[in-house]
């Protein structure tokens, strides 16, 4: 059994303690370090090279978004899962742009948090359902000139269709049904999109779909 090695980064010791106790009951997940600041999280990530960093956003000194950007840039194999009380909508977009592979809120069921750690460690992305609408709303509120520009000249027309459906939140099976192709073919298209667009996971493909205008907040 492969064990997912996790670093917990949160400035509240009680939160870290609760997560540590939760993870102790999961035989396939192990806590290999704890950090109370973003700077500590960056240092620990370099020292222990965890599979996943469970990261709070608001921490003293370097915040979780800056720490996420530094970790994902220096250690591409380390995934970051944001876990926050979600006070400000803009933090969602900022976290995902910094390279986070997932975004959860702290009031989720504990088992769901464990499941998210496994999903992110497996190379996929995950956004809490309650956050998706906020992400879209925040993106819609950004002035057009502030949105990053990205060209899609390197992908085929079929891949463009697949990217649009990924941006709308469809799974591989749903994409296959919509485009009348097999699930394996849909998965292959998504894999090629990840490679061609330099995206870490499906979450970043969703961001790209919005940035390029393939998907709009209005649908």
Each residue's pLDDT tens digit, 26-55: 999 999 999 999 999 999 999 999 999 999
pLDDT of residue 145: 45
Contact indicator for 51, 4 with CB cutoff of 8 Å: yes
pLDDT of residue 143: 55
pLDDT in tens, 163-212: 999 888 788 888 999 999 998 999 999 999 999 998 877 878 887 887 78
Tell whether pTM > 0.85: no
Contact indicator for 119, 102 with CB cutoff of 8 Å: yes
HSE of 30 in the Cβ direction (CA atoms, 13 Å)?
10
Helix segments in the chain, DSSP class H? 13-24, 38-48, 64-74, 90-97, 110-121, 129-141, 157-167, 172-179, 183-197, 202-211
């Amino acid at each position: 059994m492969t064990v997912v090695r996790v670093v917990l980064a949160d400035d509240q010791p009680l939160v870290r303690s609760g997560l540590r106790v939760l993870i102790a009951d999961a035989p396939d997940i192990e806590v290999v370090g704890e950090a109370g600041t973003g700077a500590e999280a960056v240092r620990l990530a370099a020292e222990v090279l965890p599979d996943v960093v469970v990261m709070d956003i608001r921490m003293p000194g370097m915040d979780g978004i800056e720490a996420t950007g530094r970790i994902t840039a220096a250690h591409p194999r380390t995934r970051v899962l944001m876990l926050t009380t979600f006070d400000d909508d803009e933090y969602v977009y900022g976290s995902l742009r910094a390279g986070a592979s997932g975004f959860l809120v702290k009031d989720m069921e504990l088992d769901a948090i464990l499941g998210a750690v496994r999903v992110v460690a497996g190379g996929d992305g995950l956004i809490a359902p309650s956050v998706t609408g906020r992400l879209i709303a925040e993106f819609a509120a950004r002035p057009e000139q502030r949105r990053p520009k990205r060209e899609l000249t390197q992908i085929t027309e079929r891949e463009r269709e697949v990217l649009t459906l990924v941006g709308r939140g469809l799974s591989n099976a749903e994409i296959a049904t919509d485009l009348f192709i097999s699930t394996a073919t849909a998965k292959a298209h998504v894999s090629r999109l990840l490679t061609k667009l330099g995206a870490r996971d499906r979450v970043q493909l969703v961001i790209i779909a919005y940035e390029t205008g393939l998907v709009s907040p209005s649908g």
